[in-house]
Amino acid sequence: MLKPAYPAQTELEMVTLEQLVPKDHLLRLLDQHIRFDFIREATQHLYCENNGRPAIDPVVLFKMLFIGYLFGIRSERRLVKEIEVNVAYRWFLGFRLTDKLIGGRVLYTDSTHLKANANKRHFEAHQVEQTPAAYLAELDAAIETDRAAAGKKPLKRDDDDSTPPMKEVKVSTVDPDAGFMARDNKPTGFFYLDHRTVDGVHALIVDTHVTPGNVHDSQPYLARLDRVMERFDLAVGAVGLDAGYFTPQVCKGILDRELFGVMGYKRPTHRDGYFYKRDYLYDAVQDCYRCPAGEVLPYRTTNRLGYREYASNPARCADCGVRGQCTQSRNHQKLVTRHLWEGFKEAINANRLSDLGKRLYARRKETVERSFADAKELHGHRYARFRGLAKVQAQCLLSAACQNMKKMALLLARKAAALLAKILGQALFAADFARYYLPMALHHENSRIRLVSA
């Protein structure tokens, strides 16, 4: 029969938080496998030892932030409200029910954009100096060496007192640190970029670095790679990157570090009705190019951007039957350029076509791409919660720490379960042996003894 309903919200029950939290809850795994005591030791010098109001435990403060990133709670006010009503959160923080709250070997790298807390229509146009890239000094030396070997005069360099080149950039009026991003197949507006590196075994995040959205992926890569290898003392043997990193300086840097690099294929720009650049074959022995019609394009000079120029003979091209597919220059001359470090790009591209390169590159989507997908879907990584580069860097570090803790806890739990299953399996085998096989063996031995005695 249907009994009358009586409200049970005011009844007293003898329970503990330990009973109310499910045994398989994620926070239980974190509490079991991750130790947070080092936070208290690292922040102890920031607190007064003998006077002042009792402080909130710094471990609790960090755990609260970790909960927000683990479960995708974007607002700190919302986080406080969730902790007030969520028993598992209180258990993880060490609160009572009535406590009050306060207001590898292989590395894969990629970047993702976080939308800045700034309207793309509210900006000012600023003239800023063009900062020279870090590798330009090395490239300039290579240019002068190449020109000297070819018998060319040194290039005239700008004096130090000359006015540096300027460029116009859009600066947000509410978040000046954000960069205006305008890329193909990407949203347009003010963004930050999170450059993330993960290991190739468990996709644990070993580096996260934030830049404005208008910084190219390749610019900070080599410096961050060196930091990761030095910070964790990793014996890195290979790296996997997408096509955005396929630049001469990155390819050279990877091979100079004696690493096996594999990158995605970047489709070259091409004009319909014209030959592809790959149709012009390079002869390394003669140091020249050969066009589709069989004519030779000899070396002419090396420009200040680091490209060797190979030019055709206008007299031979004027009457060529395929000139319309080759060039429309008024002097009937075809110019093909080749970077001084093009050989490094060709070596990296050859890695992509090898069996090892194909296997390594296939792991990208399972490691760094999945790491970003989890961060965006579960940890609020689509948007910058704060304004300013330093605060967004802190957000990305917290998100990475939460993802690593979750993954480590799950991996350790699986390892413990596998070890337990192995131990139990051995125990069951010993029990079965003692129950079935040992009596049979003893019976066989006794029979053999009786036969010998007879």
- Going by the DSSP 8-state scheme, the letter that residue 62 receives in this structure is H
Residue 111 reports pLDDT greater than 90:
yes
**Single-letter residue type at 241:** L
Contact (CB, 8 A) for 219 and 244:
no
396-434 in b/e form (b: 16+ CB < 10 A) is: bbbbbbbbbbbbbbeeebeeeeeeeeeeeeeeeeeeeee
User: Does residue 58 or residue 340 have the better pLDDT?
Assistant: 340
Residue 163: its pLDDT value, please? 67
The answer to whether 37 and 59 have CB atoms below 8 angstroms apart is: yes
The predicted pLDDT at position 132 comes to: 65
What's the rounded mean pLDDT across residues 4-33?
Answer: 79
- Would the pTM of this model clear 0.95, i.e. be above it? no
**Predicted local confidence at residue 454, as pLDDT:** 41
Tell me how far apart the alpha carbons of residues 10 and 13 are, in angstroms, rounded to a whole number: 9
The CA distance from 208 to 231, in Å, is 13
Q: Which of 243, 119, 109, 127 is nearest to 180 (CA)?
A: 119
**For the chain, percent of residues with pLDDT exceeding 90:** 37
Q: Could you report the per-residue pLDDT of 168-224, keeping only the tens digit for each?
A: 889 999 999 999 998 878 889 999 999 999 998 888 999 999 999 999 999 999 999
The residue with greater pLDDT, 199 or 411, is: 199
Of 161-170, 305-314, 368-377, minimum mean pLDDT range: 161-170
> Mean pLDDT score of the chain, rounded to an integer?
84
Position 334 pLDDT exceeds 70? yes
Residue 7 has pLDDT above 80, yes or no: no
Are 175 and 387 in contact by the 8 Å Cβ rule? The answer is: yes
pLDDT tens per residue, range 417-431: 777 777 777 666 666
Find residue 292's DSSP bridge partners. Answer: none
- Average of per-residue pLDDT across 309-318: 89
Average pLDDT over residues 66-75: 83
Helices (H), 153-246: 221-231
**CA gap 171, 141 in Å, rounded:** 35
Give the model's pLDDT for residue 185: 80
What pLDDT shows up at residue 384? 92
More confident residue, 96 or 101: 96
For residues 390 and 393, give the distance between their C-alpha atoms in angstroms, rounded to a whole number. 5
Rounded Cα gap, residues 403 and 366, in angstroms:
15
Angle between helices 355-362 and 342-353 (to 10 degrees): 80
Predicted confidence (pLDDT) at residue 161 exceeds the cutoff of 50:
yes
